[in-house]
Amino acid sequence: MLQTKRPEFKGSNFEVERRYSEFEWIRSRLARSYPALFVPPLPGKMLTTALDRFSDDFLAARSSGLNTFLHRLSQHPLLSADPDTIAFFTLLNDVSIHSAGLRVIIFTLSLL
């Protein structure tokens, strides 16, 4: 859930689901668009077996790292106002959440 009062956003409350690959996409886009700026890092990809990546401990660690990334991104005046960032925070996507075993990251963030 995203709550904001910022004028760049068309609305004030958004709830979206994102996969790790989408976090990689936004970070990559911002790094290319702003090569002179420090774009916050994502949590590293951890070496896991197929079962480990669905464990509660793994998901909690990854979720925490991604929330840190989102918080740092949201605090940057230029990066948080970028159209790709706004799209990332607000647009619903067609990611199939009905696939067997698919887990998505749901985040809560305030941009006030």
**Any idea where the domains of the chain sit in the sequence?**
2-111
pLDDT per residue, tens digit, the chain (112 aa), is 555 555 565 655 556 678 888 888 889 989 999 999 999 999 877 655 554 766 788 888 888 888 889 889 888 889 988 888 877 877 666 333 333 333 444 444 444 4
Give dist(CA 111, CA 17) in Å, integer: 17
Q: What is the pLDDT of residue 97?
A: 35
The pTM assigned to this predicted structure is 0.69
- Structure tokens belonging to residue 63: 């979720």
Distance CA 43, CA 64 (A): 9
Classify the C-alpha dihedral 27-30-32-37 as positive or negative.
negative
CATH code for the structural domain at 2-111: 3.30.1520.10
Q: Which residues contact 106 (CB under 8 A, 6 or more apart)?
A: 1, 15, 17
